[in-house]
Structure 1
Amino acid sequence: MKSATIPSIRVEPAFRQQAESVLREDETLSSFVETAMSEAIDRRRMQSEFIARGIASRDEAARTGVYHAAADVHKDIVERLARSRKAKGK
């Protein structure tokens, strides 16, 4: 499959200099931009999935009438985390 190009964008010279100043050894501005876009795509996908799960959970709670207090959920999470840390410490 042929590769495609991303449209070029105009930026202020200072902004370009900032981007170039953080490049790692052997990293190009193009590879930096590609990595940044890839991470942004992944982050947006995860956000969309998180929102979808939240909406589904809300709908399920409305359907069943079963709700959980935030304090109870937080307590459960803290207990699970403590158990996990204790198990890893062994």
Structure 2
Amino acid sequence: MKTATLPPIRVAPDFRLELEGVLEQGESLSQFVENAVRTTVARRKNQAEFMRRGIAAIEATKRDGGGIPAETVVARLEAKLAAARQTKAQRGG
């Protein structure tokens, strides 16, 4: 398989100096850029898959009629918070 090149990018001279300052021993600027691009591609793929699974889970919950209404969850959390505050107040906190 032949390799391809990425488009060149223009950066301010001070940023290039900053970038060169963080290169590891023996690492080229090209290697750094390729690694950054690969990392970003992997992160975006992971984000997209996470969103896909989340949306599928929401749809399944709606379809199956399961889940707990948000108002119920919030009310329970507020009750727990109120109880914790009361306990703290009774302890003199």
List gaps (5 residues or longer) in structure 1: 72-90
- The aligned counterpart of 2:12 is 12
- 2:38 paired with 1:38: yes
SS in structure 1 at match of 2:11: coil
Q: Secondary structure of 1:3's partner?
A: coil
For the pair shown, the structure with the greater C-alpha radius of gyration is 2
Counterparts of residues 1-90 of structure 1 (less than 5 Å) = 1-68=1-68
The residue type paired with residue 40 of structure 2 is A
* One-letter amino acid of the structure 1 residue matched with residue 53 of structure 2: R
- Structure 2: tracts of 5 or more residues without a match: 77-93
- Whole-angstrom distance in 2 between the partners of 1:48 and 1:18: 31
Using the aligned pairs only, state the percent identity.
Answer: 45
- Per-residue displacement from partner, 1:34-67 (whole Å, max 9, x unpaired)? 0010000000000000000000001001100111
Q: Which amino acid in structure 1 is aligned with residue 60 of structure 2?
A: E
Deviations 1:1-48 (A, max 9, x none): 111000001110011111100000000000000001000000000000
Q: Secondary structure at the match of 2:14?
A: helix
TM-score with structure 1 setting the length: 0.74
CA distance in 1 between partners of 2:12 and 2:55 (Å): 40
Code of the residue aligned with 1:30 in structure 2: it is: S
Q: TM-score, normalised by structure 2?
A: 0.71
CA RMSD in angstroms, aligned pairs only: 1.6
Q: Which runs of 4+ in 1 moved over 4 A?
A: 68-71
Aligned residue for 1:74? none
